[in-house]
Amino acid sequence: MGLGGPARYFAHARHDVDVRTAWAWARERRVPLRVLGGGSNVVVDDAGVDGLVLLVDTRGVQWLEGPDEVEVTAAAGESWDDLVRCAVTRSWAGIECLSGIPGRVGATPIQNVGAYGQEVSEVITAVHALDRISGETVTLAAAECGFAYRDSRFKSAEPERWIVMGVTFRLKPGGRPSVKYDELSKHLARRGLTTPTLEDVRESVIAIRRGKSMVYDPADENGRSCGSFFTNPIVDAEHAELVAARVGGAMPRWAQPDGRVKLSAAWLIERTGFAKGTSAGPVGLSTRHTLAIVSHEGAHAHDVIAFARHIRDTVAKQFDVRLVPEPVFWGRLTLDEEEDGSAA
């Protein structure tokens, strides 16, 4: 987002040993350690980070191909979209709908990255991580990662314990692409593609994302954002009916396996009067996507937080649905006024 102050200490890890060295240095001196990947999903306090920021920039991709599956292990610092492009080029199915997402491989299991009908938890078999408690590098099976919607053990249950070093994915050689998402299906249909290839799906996903300013482009007026600022809320079925009754009409919703219902955060935001392009000083909503908060020239982190808080509180007041922010906040940033003492 182009925001935030400096790090007190900074380390650039190009190899796994650099990660271990930085962790040991911070532990010995009792300095807080923050792990940075591509920085595309982080909002940094204007005051900066009073600790060590560790940029994980490790490289390396290995694969073991069999007749029915291929296991791909990528270092945490690898570009996520480069890995997706590599898989699509080699006709390995499983992550084609996750094209165009900025960031690094190591971040994908933390948030259980998903888009257009796919989630990385569907293909992750193992996460290799440094345990900050024991100092050992361990391999966690997918079942141990606590994956949920935009969540994992690494994000919510034990957010300060693990440093992801690498991820292993199980992909399908020669597999058919996944076309579950209605918007993606319609885009492919407009292109006249009834039996799309993996490359066709990747091209359509990137085109859709670009149309929403969700592909990184420094020349785009909406480019300085974290993408979707809020996750889609999941509520009880009864609550979903109450929300629908308040709007008095059709409402986008998706039934979940546990009986609850996922609502559209963008739809809720729009129904409370926040149209695309709505602004408050140097920050505002993207002109192309209601879920993206954009920082314009002169913006500060506290401006973004105040604007996000205003949106969240307005939606909560009208629909009794509390939106949860998707990016990670560094420093004293929080949407809860009682914690940071600021006002919207």
| Fold entry, domain 61-211 | 3.30.465
328: helix, strand or coil: strand
For 244-292, what is each residue's pLDDT tens digit? 999 887 899 999 999 999 999 999 999 999 999 999 999 999 999 999 9
Tell me the residue ranges of DSSP E strands in 113-256. 114-115, 118-119, 124-131, 137-141, 162-173, 225-228, 234-235, 253-255
Helix (H) or strand (E) holding 203: helix 198-211
**Mean pLDDT score, 155-183:** 95
Which two structure tokens, joined as six digits, stand for 317?
A: 């007041």
Specify the pLDDT at position 339.
43
Q: Which residue has the tokens 């993207």?
A: 286
Q: Is the pLDDT of residue 207 over 70?
A: yes
For 40-57, what is each residue's pLDDT tens digit? 999 999 999 999 999 999
Give domain limits for the chain.
7-56, 61-211, 225-340
pLDDT band at 212 (very low <50, low <70, confident <90, very high): very high
CB-based contacts of 229: which residues, under 8 Å, 6+ apart? 291, 292, 293, 308, 325, 326, 327
Q: What is the pTM of this model?
A: 0.91
Specify the pLDDT at position 97.
98
Q: Is the pLDDT of residue 217 over 90?
A: no
Specify the pLDDT at position 249.
76
Specify the pLDDT at position 248.
83
Specify the pLDDT at position 50.
95
| Fold entry, domain 7-56 | 3.30.43
Residue with more model confidence, 307 or 216: 307
Would you name the residues annotated as active-site residues? 150, 228, 326
Specify the pLDDT at position 317.
96
Whole-number Å distance between alpha carbons of 135 and 58:
18
Specify the pLDDT at position 337.
63
In terms of C-beta density within 10 A (0-12 exposed, 13-18 middle, 19 or more buried), how is residue 190 classed?
exposed
Helix (H) or strand (E) holding 283: strand 283-285
Q: What percent of the chain has pLDDT over 90?
A: 94
- The partner residues of 52 in beta bridges, in order of sequence, read 9, 33
pLDDT band at 338 (very low <50, low <70, confident <90, very high): very low
Q: Is the pLDDT of residue 336 over 60?
A: yes
**How confident is the prediction for the chain on average, in pLDDT?**
94
CB 171 within 8 A of CB 94: yes
136: helix, strand or coil: coil
What is the CATH class of 225-340? alpha beta
